[in-house]
Structure 1
Amino acid sequence: MSEMRELYPFLYSGDTDLESVMDEVRRSTAEKANEIVALRESVLAADGARLTECAERMAEAFRAGGRLFTFGNGGSSTDAQDVAALFLNPGGESRPLPALALTTDVAVMTALSNDIGFEVVFARQLGAFGRAGDIALGLSTSGNSANLIRAFEEAMRRGMLTIGLAGHTGGQMAEIEGLDHLFTVPSSSVHRIQEAQTTVYHALWELTQYAL
């Protein structure tokens, strides 16, 4: 409730004037839209060249027969599925590329969580499917997800190209030695981080298609 009050204080002000409430809604919406536009521009300015470099390496991996594996928790699990779907089924004249989200098999996820622990749900799948030359792409708003850290460690052991998307300053993900690419969104808002990360992985997809 307190979070809702912070996000939408005008709904809890006791003001019964519908028009004034709608004015506040419009103002709040405009502020959030302007905030994400500015954030996306700052990420592009900071990481444009690195995004191009990362996409070129992804294109090289795909040319050599590599596959993309994506993973994340919560809302980031949905984003991971979106990334895989984007690469696998881009539509139009774009080239479909082999991609799989590691968050979609409920039986595997729950079996590993129940029998071993939630921290291994992605690492074990990479251990079974991943091989040198494949790509591991993980998304987290905090950068502190234990199962993403374990997955990247497993991916690096297997010689995979590793790509992380995180918020704030990258959290524990930024401390992983040997992570090939890390793109951070400098915001404390989970919502803004996820919106900007969507732009980042769409840019990676477009740049990869161009490189191919």
Structure 2
Amino acid sequence: MRGIEALYPFLYATGEDGAAALLADVETSTARKADEAAALRGGLADAFAQALAECARDLAASFAAGGRLLAFGNGGSATDARAFTGLLASPGGRALPALALAQDTAALTALANDVGYEVVFSRQVAALGRPGDVAVAFSTSGGSPNVLRGLDEAGRRGLVTVGFAGYDGGAMAASGLVRHLFVVPSDSVHRIQEAQTTLYHVLGELTSAAVMGMDEPDTR
């Protein structure tokens, strides 16, 4: 089997036996992927429980002091950045100021066209970020140049830096640019992004709870 047939064999199955075999392969593959995802996510609590709590406290402290959060990433990671800011902006308690930098298409395309795609996040961090704000970077590889430059700019300007990466963390882990780093130990982009979704949902809930705790009056 060659060409497109090798990529989509289920479209070219012949006979009942061929179709049945393909369905069995699909079922086996689906079950294996589900088991991999469950096992990977199941280990996150033990690996990151304390780190997530510490990160949530830093984020809550930033928000309590009037800070805001800037999130960024490329492709699917840009979608994760948007989803995370949406969680914070519409929590059960007080809405928190959070921006996804890839959502500003005018700034993104102007910077990419006029300067270069490698600065699309760092220039926005420079324009919008203030000391004490938070920068959250999403990447599956941990090596996207524009994401790393965004983190570098954030660190230089005194922002709290948070990073989500996969594989071994890549340059994001090696650079020392990130105060709170969460590396999903997988070489599957799909499993990495699924696990990162779990992590940032937990982080969002912990942060919202911490902010609400700060908002409650001290009755002692």
TM-score (norm 1): 0.91
**How many residues get paired?**
208
- Please give the secondary structure, in 1, of the residue aligned with 2:102: coil
- Please give the secondary structure, in 2, of the residue aligned with 1:184: strand
| Pairing 1:19-38 to 2, within 5 Å after superposition | 19-38=20-39
Give the structure 2 partner of residue 189 of structure 1. Answer: 188
Deviation per CA, 1:107-131: give whole Å up to 9, x if none.
2111111111111000000100100
Indicate conservation of the 8 Å contact 1:71/1:101, yes or no.
yes
Indicate conservation of the 8 Å contact 1:5/1:11, yes or no.
no
Instruction: Sort the Cα spacing of 1:2 and 1:100 in 2 relative to 1 into closer, same or farther, 3 A.
Output: farther
Indicate conservation of the 8 Å contact 1:5/1:12, yes or no.
no
Give the drift of 1:191: 0.6
TM-score (norm 2): 0.88
Whether 2:43 is the aligned partner of 1:79: answer no
**CA-based RMSD:** 2.1
CA distance in 2, matches of 1:141, 1:5: 27
The answer to which of 189-198 and 29-38 deviates more is 29-38
Deviation per CA, 1:22-61: give whole Å up to 9, x if none.
2322221111111111001222211111111111111111
Indicate conservation of the 8 Å contact 1:15/1:21, yes or no.
no
Instruction: Sort the Cα spacing of 1:89 and 1:12 in 2 relative to 1 into closer, same or farther, 3 A.
Output: same
| Pairing 1:62-211 to 2, within 5 Å after superposition | 62-90=63-91, 93-211=92-210
Structure 2: tracts of 5 or more residues without a match = 212-220
Give the drift of 1:86: 1.0
Indicate conservation of the 8 Å contact 1:72/1:103, yes or no.
yes
Which one has the largest radius of gyration? 2
CA distance in 2, matches of 1:32, 1:88: 32
Instruction: Sort the Cα spacing of 1:171 and 1:2 in 2 relative to 1 into closer, same or farther, 3 A.
Output: farther
Give the drift of 1:15: 5.7
In structure 2, what residue type is equivalent to 1:48?
A
Give the drift of 1:3: 11
Whether 2:51 is the aligned partner of 1:50: answer yes
- Please give the secondary structure, in 1, of the residue aligned with 2:43: helix
